[in-house]
Structure 1
Amino acid sequence: MNQVHSMESGPGVSVQPHHEDAARTWNLGGSHYDNISFGVSDALAHAAQRLNPRPGQEILDVATGTGWTARNMARAGANVTGVDIASELLEAAETLSAHLRPAVRFRQADAERLPFDDGHFDGVISTFGVMFAADQAQAARELARVCRRGGRLSLAVWAPEGAVQEFFGVIGKHSGDPAPEPSPLAWGDPDHARALLGQDFELWFEPGVNHHYFDKVEDAWQWYARGFGPIRQVMKQLSESEQAAFKQDVDAYHGRYATEAGLHIEREYLLITGRRK
């Protein structure tokens, strides 16, 4: 009998106090955050294909957002669980994934304290997600803890320098918030990734470039102003004149990617794959 899935709750479902502000920020994108995932979908597919899930395997997608990567995992017939700290994104993931069989299970959970038994999953994936956990070492330990010996790992993380670093620099300039330390982009340094994961996983590294296209700068602004929580959060806290200055800087950033055909944004990332020791 087909059963419509629902977002799970219960003991162990929690957001670490130091992630509550982040959860509120990412929630601001709501269902429009799925367009943000669409814009990086070539990189998400790269990560999914490298994990190479099999029918019936138990797969965990950490920081699933609106469930794009979880759906990529379910495509192969795997039994998929997607977790995130942002409840609004999880609600959107439920709606967008309702057609899938086997059903994808979604639950609110924190990457630093995953509510699953040791070795429960055959594969663990996170696409531009776990890298934003505040305690990187703890998040890495949790990835290893819930992955069975011989299980697979696939992480797409942004490169420490380049397009995404510059984009977050524009946001940070106007938010007034101190830069997180260590930077989430540190995951894109293979030496840093080895320090976090190398004790528990045999690791491989594969650089990639995400390609995103818009007709014009205004289209890019509207795309991110609707669905990207960090931009929406900055806009909430700025005056009208400050908002205009922020938009001007974001537009200038995107304008650098103009071609004769329109904008072509290229974002460097690193794919980390591993096998649990």
Structure 2
Amino acid sequence: MKDTIDAVEADRELKTRHRAMWALGDYPSLAGEVIPDLGPALVAACEVRSGDHVLDVAAGSGNAAIPAALAGGHVVASDLTPELFDVGRREAAAAGAAVEWQQADAEALPFDDEEFDVVMSCVGVMFAPHHQQSADEIVRVCRPGGRIGLLSWTPEGFIGQMFATMKPYAPAPPPGAQPPPLWGREEHVRELFGDRVTDLTATRQTLHVEKFPTPEEFRDYFKERYGPTIAVYRNIAGDPERVAALDGELADLARRHFDGTAMEWEYLLVTARKR
């Protein structure tokens, strides 16, 4: 009994830390300035139609939820970090999109079985620590024949490599937590969903990013706005040598992917139907 209580408390503490991490910096501005094309791409791949009941899991400030609503969907945007919703509500209102915002843990969604026609996530659910639990919840709340769509950074792509670069400087992950970029591997996603889905397709695509004139400006932008990067720097704040080392490694990583004007960030786009 004590082990069960300890496990529940550990999970609660982990989710509290995750919520706080994504509230750091200014993720909504990053989503709007750097990756605005990803949400519409996912919505198009999911073939969201007028009248569809749509759930956006780990929606952030609505990068996919708002385009889904504009496509005619009745959209619920859920996220562990409701601090991101204020910007989402303003952007939805400005766009004339009706979106329902609800705090929710991707690993324990507060929705009924088979409630949604479309369940999607745009570089969101990949950051929930227990992948199988999240996949199980996505399948559970999707109706039979409903569409599932996921867009995730690949391990080999730029953002996946950024996380690999930061890993030695980050706190040790809790037991059972899995690396987010695993969702960017087709075989991993197929294993998570198993025979509960059909018509699964997975394509590797790239996002063309022209936001950053230099590798150093990319690094500094993410240090200021991106919660996971801010959290890693806070972890080593008392060690100037490690801070300088990470500064150099992130700039070097960007330089290797930088052609002088832009970078290409690889992601995996997955669509499937619930069996």
1:74 aligns with 2:69: yes
**Residue 91 in 1 paired to residue 90 in 2?**
no
**Aligned partner letter, 2:204:** P
Q: How many residues align?
A: 260
Indicate the larger mover: 77-86 or 170-179.
Answer: 170-179
Q: Kindly provide the amino acid, as one letter, of the partner of residue 185 in structure 2.
A: D
User: For residue 182 of structure 1, what is the aligned residue in structure 2?
Assistant: 178
Between stretches 143-152 and 179-188, larger displacement belongs to 179-188
Give the aligned partner of residue 267 of structure 2.
269
- Post-superposition shift, 1:53? 1.0
Match of 1:50 among 45, 52, 60: 45
Alignment of 1:141-156 (within 5 A): 141-156=136-151
Aligned to 2:257: 257
Query: Could you tell me which amino acid in structure 2 is paired with residue 70 of structure 1?
Result: A
Which amino acid is 2:192 matched to? L
Match for residue 127 of structure 1?
122
Runs of 4+ residues over 6 Å off in structure 1: none
Aligned-residue offset at 1:103: 1.6
Say whether the 8 Å CA contact 1:78–1:102 is kept in structure 2: no
Q: In the aligned structure 1, how far is the partner of 2:138 from the partner of 2:112? A: 12
Structure-2 change in CA distance of 1:161 and 1:218 (3 Å)? closer
In 1: Cα distance, 2:233 partner to 2:13 partner: 24
Identity of aligned residues (%): 32
Residue 235 to residue 160, structure 1, CA distance change in 2 (3 Å): closer
Mapped to 1, the partners of 2:143 and 2:33 lie a distance apart of: 30
Task: Find the aligned partners of 1:135 and 1:16 in 2 and give their Cα distance.
Answer: 13
**Counterpart-to-counterpart distance in 1, 2:99 and 2:31:** 20
Letter in 1 for 2:223: A
1: CA distance, partners of 2:72 / 2:12: 32
1:230 and 1:196 map into 2 onto residues whose CA distance is 24
1:225-236 matched pairs, under 5 angstroms: 225-236=223-234
Amino acid of the structure 1 residue aligned with 2:150: L
What is the CA RMSD across the aligned residues, in angstroms?
A: 2.1
Match of 1:223 in 2: 221
Query: Is residue 77–residue 100 contact of structure 2 (8 Å, CA) maintained in 1?
Result: yes
Partner secondary structure for residue 99 of structure 1: helix
Structure 2 portions without partners, runs of 5+: 1-10
- 1:212 aligned onto 2:209: yes
Q: Distance in 2 between matches of 1:37 and 1:16?
A: 30
Q: What secondary structure sits across from 1:182 in the alignment?
A: coil
1:22 aligns with 2:10: no
Of 217-226 and 112-121, deviating more is: 217-226
- Cα separation, partners in 2 of 1:16 and 1:58, compared to 1, 3 Å: farther
Counterpart pick for 1:116 among 111, 116, 134: 111
Deviations along 1:180-221, one digit per CA (max 9) or x if unpaired, are 753222222222211111322111112111221221223212
Contact 1:36 1:228 in 2 (8 A): no
Give how far 1:16 is off.
Answer: 4.6
1:159 counterpart residue number: 154
Report the TM-score, using the length of structure 2 for normalisation: 0.86
More divergent stretch after superposition (158-167 vs 50-59): 158-167
Once the two structures are TM-superposed, the CA of residue 70 in structure 1 deviates from its matched residue by 0.6
Structure 1 unaligned residues grouped into runs of 5+: 1-14
Q: CA–CA distance in 2 between the matches of 1:247 and 1:268?
A: 22
* In structure 2, distance between residues paired with 1:240 and 1:21: 22
Alignment of 1:3-42 (within 5 A): 16-30=12-26, 32-36=27-31, 38-42=33-37
Q: 1:160 and 1:255, CA in 2 relative to 1: closer, same or farther beyond 3 A?
A: closer
